[in-house]
Amino acid sequence: MNEKCRIGVIGVGHLGRIHAKLLKEIAEADLVGVYDSDQGKAVQVANEFQTKAFSTYTGLLNEVDAVVIAASTIAHHELALEALHAKVNLLVEKPLADTPVHARDIIDGFSKTGLKLTVGHIERFNQAVRALDGINIAPRFIEAHRLAAFTLRGADVAVIHDLMIHDLDLILHWVDAPIKRLDASGVAVISDTPDIANVRIAFENGCVANITASRISRHKMRRMRMFQENAYLSLDFAEGKAEMYRLAAPDEEGLPALELGQIEKGSQPRKILYQQPQAPEGNALKLELEQFIQSVLLDTPVAVSGEDGLRAVQLAHEILTQIEEES
């Protein structure tokens, strides 16, 4: 096993620059270099983090064990296949690709090798999400709001692929059931694609999810609420905070929770409890990079598989298609 993973970053705009910065902080990572179609930007970031600016993508691929693709979504497919050809492990920023066909093409290629492929669905590493480890998640109703101000960053795709896809990934991760029906609506306000969208998804197990995403909001919000039998969970992704209100089991004693009262349910009263599940603090993107690097060095499973990324892309595609057909 190599002591360090030789890694590079492709696309050093806002997010790619952050990837480079964090990789310099990870002991197991050796940031070999960066590449960007804007060579001046590549040189600037390389100088900032004491690494090399490669003049060609293939030149970088020839020197690394792994690469992070943080380029525009439309370029993911071509760049991923070049990484595959070079036999390089790959972390692709979300979404995995611009279309389900391109996403499947990437997955099929990597599945024939021993290379690692993971997708940068960063909210999987959010402190609020990590706090739910060990808690049974079986939602019957989900409500998610993800609002942001407009920036040119991410405007090359619809808000569904830009913002909503974070919540789509989490919901598909927690709801283990096929989709029965979806009803979507959206409006293009500033860009040429929907900038605000809402979708109601009904799953075959009875769960319903109502999701709103906007990139033209004055106020930022990244929240999700989940209701399930005997429990209500509230997640604030911006604060990294999880809260849970639940009914205690009849024989539950010594509870590490705040008792809010009682409710008559069945033959005896049930205690209403409030808890704040905890997880260690940590930069979500850095944790994502560390997990990817460990998977490469130790040959362990990645946290977010290519199939996970494909499911999110497929659902985003269905939502956008329905919006376009009805507009």
The enclosing domain of 144 has a CATH number of 3.30.360.10
User: What tokens appear for 309 in the block?
Assistant: 């990324």
Q: Are residues 239 and 299 in the same domain?
A: no
Q: 74: domain CATH number?
A: 3.40.50.720
Same domain, 142 and 244: yes
Does 231 share its domain with 294? no
14 occurs within a structural domain: yes
pLDDT of residue 150: 76
pLDDT higher than 60, residue 195: yes
* Same domain flag for 155 and 192: yes
Do 170 and 88 lie in one domain? The reply is no
Give the domain range for residue 150. 126-279+315-326
**Structure confidence at residue 30 as a pLDDT band (50, 70, 90):** very high
**Could you give the CA distance from residue 108 to residue 82 in angstroms, rounded to a whole number?**
14
Instruction: Tell me: do 165 and 134 sit in the same domain.
Output: yes
Residue 50 and residue 185 in one domain: no
Compute the distance between CA of residue 38 and CA of residue 32 in angstroms, rounded to an integer. 18
- What's the rounded mean pLDDT across residues 299-321? 98
Flag whether 185 is in a domain: yes
* C-alpha triplet 66, 71, 72: angle, nearest 5°: 145
- Phi, psi (degrees; rounded to nearest 5) at 133: -55, 130
Closest CA to 296 of 123, 110, 169, 34: 110
- 158 assigned to some structural domain: yes
How many Cβ atoms from other residues are within 10 Å of residue 17's Cβ? 20
Clarify whether residues 23 and 135 are in a common domain. no
In a domain, 26, yes or no: yes
The dihedral region occupied by 8, where left means phi > 0, alpha psi between -120 and 50, and beta the remainder, is beta
Is residue 74 within 8 Å of 46, Cβ to Cβ? no
195/273 same-domain check: yes
* Mean pLDDT over each residue of the chain, to the nearest integer: 93
In a domain, 310, yes or no: no
In a domain, 309, yes or no: no
Q: Are residues 11 and 116 in the same domain?
A: yes
Average pLDDT of 49-59?
97
Question: Over the stretch 253-287, which tens digit does the pLDDT of each residue have?
Answer: 555 655 656 666 656 677 888 899 999 999 999 99
Examine residue 209 and state whether it is found in any structural domain, yes or no. yes
Q: What pLDDT does 173 receive?
A: 97
Residues 175 and 321 both lie in one domain: yes
Classify residue 180: in a domain, yes or no.
yes
Report the domain count for the chain.
2
pLDDT reading at 153 higher than 80: no
What does each C-alpha distance from 122 to 41, 92, 119, 254, 283 come to in angstroms?
24, 11, 9, 35, 10
297 and 243 assigned to the same domain: no
